[in-house]
Amino acid sequence: MLSGAMATLELSTLSDKLDEDDLARLLSEYAEQTEGGPLDIDEVAEQAVLDNGIDDNNFVDFLDKLEANEASADVYLPSDFEEIFEVGDLRVGSAHSLLLVLENLREDFSAEADEEDTELEEDEGFDEEAVDFEDEEPDLLPPDEESPVAMKEEQLRHIWRLMYQGAKASIRRGLCLFVHH
């Protein structure tokens, strides 16, 4: 699936990405949302791009899953709070909350293909040699190519891993996880 637009995930500081006015509004809204909770953000760290070539269509599908779990944001702060809040055009969330949602979604992105394989193995009456494959339609893809559905599932798993690693790094390094699409 080739698309013209690509999404980017990166770790950075707020001051690298926001102008002074937006930063002041974000900090003010953060203080209001968290009732003055601490905001432990490293303001002298270097930016790190996790990936800048994510297919935008697949990324939007992934964000839809986050949105369904009320965890879709443009920037994730390394602080622990629950609600997504808006500052101008930015949706701001917590990297801690993102990790919890990603843990809940883990099976959606990794176990689906494995379930089919284990169902066949667990079926007591399954005899691999007795199955007649001649009546099945031939595989139209060359043996070394994956189907578009399998490729999309793998890309969604890749996005899940990037988001998970990004959220953990955000918390550990005191940086913000920025999502651009």
pLDDT tens over the chain, length 181 residues = 344 578 899 999 988 888 899 989 999 899 888 876 777 776 777 788 888 888 999 999 999 999 999 999 999 999 998 899 999 899 999 999 999 999 999 888 774 333 333 343 344 443 444 444 444 444 545 555 668 888 888 999 999 999 999 999 999 998 999 998 8
The β-bridge partners of 138 are: none
Contact 171, 20 (CB under 8 A): no
| H-assigned helices in 13-111 | 14-17, 20-33, 56-68, 95-110
Taking the CB of residue 3, how many other CB atoms lie within 10 A of it?
12
For the whole prediction, is pTM greater than 0.85? no
Give the whole-angstrom CA distance, residue 12 versus residue 138: 49
Dihedral, CA of residue 72, residue 155, residue 103 and residue 179, to nearest 10 = -30
